Chain A
Amino acid sequence: MERYLQGLGVSPGIAIAPALLFFHDRYDVPTYAVTDLDAEMARLDVAMRETRNDLENIYERVVAELGERHAAIFQAHLMILEDVTLREELTEYLVEHRHNVEHILDTLTKQYVRTMDSVDDPRFRERTADMLDVMDRVLRHLLETERPNLRRLEQESIIVAHDLTPSDTASMDTNKAIGLVIEAGSVTSHSAILARALEIPAVIGIVDAPESVKAGSLVIVDGSSGRVIVDPTRETCKRYVKAQQRLAARRAKLLRVTKGKPACTRDNVNVMLSANIELPLEIEHSLNVNAQGIGLYRTEYLFIDRDSLPDEEEQYEAYAAVARAMQPHPVVLRTIDVGGDKFVSHLQTLKEDNPQLGWRAVRFCLAHPEIFKTQLRAIFRASAHGTIEVMFPMISGLEELRNVKTLVSEVACELDEEDVSFDRNIKFGSMIEVPSAVMLADLLAQENDFFSIGTNDLIQYLLAVDRVNEKIAYLYEPAHPAVVRMIHQTAQAARVHGIPCSICGEMAGDALYTELLLGLGITALSMAPVAIPLIRAEISHIHLEEARTLAKQVLKMRTAKEIKSVLAERHLARAKKYDYLMAPDQFMFSDEDNS
């Protein structure tokens, strides 16, 4: 019987393959008496040596692929492996109890976990994860069991797991791991970021994911809708395979047709199309689709899933590399946009009731000027290697913007005194994503070099909808008349004051909205690289004058439904006529198909 599981899609696309269950469970550890203690110690030594090899290999691989900063944790793992106390305790236990070493290792590990967990500070509980990771490796060698190794997969698989650690994702065979279904995590978790960067469809938030799927069962992952289908019928499979093929063929065709051409409307107006990226490896995707720049470079990946803050040098290297690679195109770098739960897992002690309304983004940066200034220094220094623009997330009013700018000037002065070279004409802009910023757009426009509307957050804040909460997710509506008015108001203010206004939220990559956005006065769009060819095609069939007329009509409409039906009709007519229909699943299948 086919089953539908609904989660949150964090990386779009369709993948169909057998499930590979990836467990972090402890192993069945046998207990038996031993007589030859030397032989037993020798077994342990072999297992430890093998573990050392593994860790060194991972370390080198991660350094090569993701850089030194992501690899540092594996150095700590090596030290845990070679720890003197651990060694002493293992030896003592062996001499005293004469048990096999796997049993001893398992017992000691459990003792450590108990001690660490007894510390009444949640920040320290996470320590056990590192230790367990190392101990499990040794145990696996002793028991000669391999856990499903994501590095060498035999066939294309959908990885189904409770959670994936950085070491899991870092060593994953990304040619064979073609889809992810994960219980834990969030849109900004490490696995989600990586999945998007590698363009692997991924769905998170499936409760008891590994328990709900049998190993080897066929699974369909639809990363756009967040749907996972287990044991699909032949009919369903056929439908998805078709959809997948259609999608792949369209993508290839779109890329071919639009490659090398500017995004230009029928009446010859150029629209700047740039890419949203998180990991440096996405630069290649961006260049492949002819992005005219990076419209949103998210820098959070440097800060999450690690124990310590990245220093100026690390950040400088990262930013400079992106600036250099994109030359001569501009790179719009967004300063730290996390806080609350996401930031350097341990910095925050208080659990917030409302992290989305909490201590994050510029609020967090202004409270930690030392962290913020380090990032700014790194950005300034990197600006010598390309064209960097900087935008500040979650600006809610002028005071905040001015406080941020004071720090910016301080950093510029410091660098001047130190005779460090940087681009003196760096442009600074604000993300418009808090409704108050829209209300003040006319004032903010006078103190910004550009605006970039972050529609995802703006919609959430404006409509008071947490899109991750499935009970109300249906209220999240980009076509809501209030959203349209806000975009209009922002674009108008920008136009009046002569600054560009772009959109870097998901709306930018959804062809349904392209005509409306251009008509409302948006001059640039930034999106996931994969969406660029489609939007470029859509733009080439849009007439800007018509778009303005459409926008005027839409601004008078009263409901999202009304707005959407007009937009869909126009987009579908174009896409069908010129044969580039790529629409997400609402167009691909009719509603009856989904029941």
Chain B
Amino acid sequence: MTEIAGEVEVVNSLGIHARPAAALVQQLLKFDSEIYISFKGNRVNAKSIMGLLTLGAARGSLLEVSCSGPDAEEAYAAVAEMFASGFGEA
């Protein structure tokens, strides 16, 4: 059981809207670990599109990510990678 936490930044210009949220959830469903994202005191399950949408994270927002479980490291890497690439958007 590993736990890993860190910070990611929203870099795509549109922020976390429906499509990136959907893409993120799709990626993260592959992992067994529990993945949570916190922003402005709101903590949500990163495998939940509804949760992600309620964050209201615009470009430039810093989000806290915490993963715990057997594949926490891979999961964290996946989250970081998705955010850094701006979900493949401009």
Contact = CB atoms under 8 A, between A and B. Distances in A.
B89 interface: yes
The 9 closest A-B pairs by CB, nearest first: A119-B56, A85-B48, A76-B18, A76-B22, A307-B19, A124-B56, A83-B50, A79-B49, A115-B54
Contacts of A267: none
A307 B17 contact: yes
Nearest to B51: A85
B56 A346 contact: no
Interface residues of A, number: 29
Interface of B: 13-15, 17-22, 25-26, 44-45, 47-51, 53-54, 56, 58, 89-90
7 contacts: A79-B22, A79-B26, A80-B50, A85-B50, A85-B51, A121-B56, A307-B18
B21 A112 contact: no
Interface in A30-87: 72-73, 75-76, 79-80, 83-86
Given A85-B45, A347-B13, 19 more contacts: A73-B19, A76-B18, A76-B21, A79-B22, A79-B26, A83-B48, A83-B49, A84-B47, A85-B50, A86-B50, A116-B53, A121-B15, A123-B17, A123-B58, A124-B56, A130-B18, A307-B19, A308-B14, A371-B90
A79 B56 contact: no
Contacts of B18: 73, 76, 127, 130, 307
Contacts of A86: 48, 50
A370 interface: yes
A346 B19 CA distance: 12
Contact of B49 (A80, A119, A124, A346): A80
A347 B59 CA distance: 10
B47 A75 contact: no
A71 to B, nearest CB: 12
B14 A131 contact: no
Interface in A71-119: 72-73, 75-76, 79-80, 83-86, 112, 115-116, 119
Contacts of A85: 44-45, 48, 50-51
A344 interface: yes
Nearest to B55: A119
A116 B56 CA distance: 7
Contacts of B19: 72-73, 76, 307-308
